[in-house]
Amino acid sequence: MTCPFQRVLAPSGRPDPYPLYAELRATPVARQDDGTYVVSTYQEIVSLLHDPRVSSRRRDLDRTPAFIGLDPPEHDRLRRLAMRHFGPPRSPGRIDALRPQMQAVTTGLVDALAGRNRADLVEEVAYPLPVAMICRLLGVPAEDEGRFHAWADELIETLGPGEEDRAEREQARREVTGRFDRYLGDLVDARRHDPGDDMLSGMIADGEMTRDEIVRTGVLLLIAGHETTINLIANGMLTFLRNPGVLARVQADPGLIVPAVEELLRFEPPVQLISSRVALEDLTVGGVTIPAGSPITLALAAGSRDPAHVPDPDRFSLDRPRNEHLGFGGGVHYCFGAPLARLEAQIVLTELVGRLRGPRLVDDPPPYRPSPILRGPRHLVVDYDDVTPR
């Protein structure tokens, strides 16, 4: 029998990897045949997320990566420059100011479901809102939004742990990142001559990033700014429909959507694994020595369901007094877009829960996207009786 982690990576593990993660936790730090160390328990994952002896620069690349793939101090410099135009302290109201637009777009998307009784909530709701919002933040023209869906899908499928097919995946990654780089490079040049009230224009005006740094930051935010949120929304509706008692409570009390989203980030996280870490020196974790130079994969989804950390971890609960999950990672690489993702998920799920009458799954499990890292339904088809007018 193959080891639990290999079964997590296999397509057959996509619908329900959590029993496999439970097996994986029996050996908190497990060496794989390719030399990768997989860490699956909460405390050990947290310790490595905060350990400066663990690098995010896993391998030499043919391009300087965005700040997510760099270590301090260069990571800190680029992240700080990008955050100037995204959140506190310089732009504290930027995300909240998008709330009326988010609500208007979401209302329109749900309005469009009226007059029929079946819809794919991924393609028709969960995808359009996040991509529209990140494009508006960055200054990407609305007419170009559609082209990124296929590009992002291609790129995500090249990311993953293990050595199998690595050369082919690296070639595919180079091809699709080249397309992103060329598009964002042209857009940066256009914004330099015709600036707007957007993040790209702001980073250009600061004059503290090179053109390549702005392009790679833009590519990172464009992909991460919608791909993970699509999965969070889709996983959320799937979880609600599988738990009628939870769905009824949120329908009766929309304020519960806030703890519901936090519990979703623990229970069905959109980012399941971080596979881009490497030990800079020998590390001892969970009684196991990880040699310098070894790749490390952090199984965030396993850690968030660690029974040593959270009671009754395989039950979805709206009543957890403290919800310390790994849904947004941790340490210096804590998710840059967490405030945006939270708000988008809260607005979309509130609208769907409040307005779809009698929603029910057509396929359970639904078809899943291939990636074991960014896990979520490719489609979420539901039948429903009607759509309540806004």
Structural domain count, the chain: 1
- DSSP letters along 299-331, please? -HHHHHT-TTTSSSTTS--S--S-----TT--G
Bond preceding residue 367 cis, omega within 30 of 0: no
Find tokens 């990576």 and name the residue: 9
For residues 42 and 326, is the Cβ–Cβ distance under 8 A?
yes
CATH code of residue 315: 1.10.630.10
Instruction: Provide the pLDDT for residue 144.
Output: 87
**Torsion on CA atoms 349, 354, 357, 361, rounded to nearest 10:** 20
Instruction: Provide the pLDDT for residue 239.
Output: 98
Helix (H, G, I), strand (E, B) or coil at 108: helix
Question: Whole-number mean pLDDT of the chain?
Answer: 92
Task: Return the structure tokens found at 7.
Answer: 């079964």
Distance CA 36, CA 163 (A): 9
Strand partners, 31: 37
Interhelix angle for 211-242 vs 74-83, to 10°?
Answer: 70
- Residue 125 CA to chain centroid, in angstroms? 17
Distance CA 272, CA 205 (A): 36
Instruction: Provide the pLDDT for residue 63.
Output: 67
| Higher per-residue confidence, 222 vs 348 | 348
Instruction: Provide the pLDDT for residue 356.
Output: 98
Question: pLDDT tens digits, residue range 113-163?
Answer: 999 999 999 999 999 999 999 999 999 998 888 777 778 878 877 766 655
Q: What is the mean pLDDT of residues 63-72?
A: 87
User: Which residue segment(s) compose the domain that 298 sits in?
Assistant: 4-387
Beta strands in 3-133 (DSSP E): 29-31, 37-39, 54-55, 118-120
pLDDT at 362 over 80: yes
- Residue 366 CA to chain centroid, in angstroms? 19
HSE of 7, CA atoms in CB hemisphere, 13 A: 14
Q: What is the mean pLDDT of residues 200-228?
A: 93
Q: Show Cβ contacts of residue 121 under 8 Å, excluding neighbours closer than 6 positions.
A: 233, 234, 237, 352, 380, 381, 382
What confidence tier does 58 reach under pLDDT thresholds 50, 70, 90? low
For residues 181 and 215, is the Cβ–Cβ distance under 8 A?
yes
Instruction: Provide the pLDDT for residue 62.
Output: 56
Q: What is the mean pLDDT of residues 25-33?
A: 96
Instruction: Provide the pLDDT for residue 271.
Output: 96
Q: What angle do CA 154, 24, 370 make, to 5 degrees?
A: 15
| Higher per-residue confidence, 168 vs 49 | 49
Distance CA 388, CA 90 (A): 40
Task: Return the structure tokens found at 345.
Answer: 């998920």
Q: What is the mean pLDDT of residues 346-368?
A: 97
Question: pLDDT tens digits, residue range 154-191?
Answer: 887 776 665 566 678 788 888 888 898 999 999 999 99
Question: pLDDT tens digits, residue range 69-113?
Answer: 999 999 999 999 999 999 877 888 889 999 999 999 999 999 999
Q: Which amino acid is at 232?
A: L
User: What number of other Cβ atoms are within 10 A of residue 150's Cβ?
Assistant: 11
Instruction: Provide the pLDDT for residue 225.
Output: 84
Q: What is the mean pLDDT of residues 56-72?
A: 77
Distance CA 148, CA 231 (A): 16
Question: pLDDT tens digits, residue range 243-301?
Answer: 999 999 999 999 999 999 999 999 999 999 998 899 999 999 999 999 999 999 999 99
Instruction: Provide the pLDDT for residue 1.
Output: 57
Q: What is the mean pLDDT of residues 19-48?
A: 97
Question: pLDDT tens digits, residue range 287-337?
Answer: 999 999 999 999 999 999 999 999 999 999 999 988 999 999 999 999 999
Cβ-based burial of 315 (10 A; exposed 0-12, middle 13-18, buried ≥19)? exposed
For residues 183 and 176, is the Cβ–Cβ distance under 8 A?
no
- DSSP letters along 127-159, please? THHHHHHHHHHHT--GGGTTHHHHHHHHHHTT-
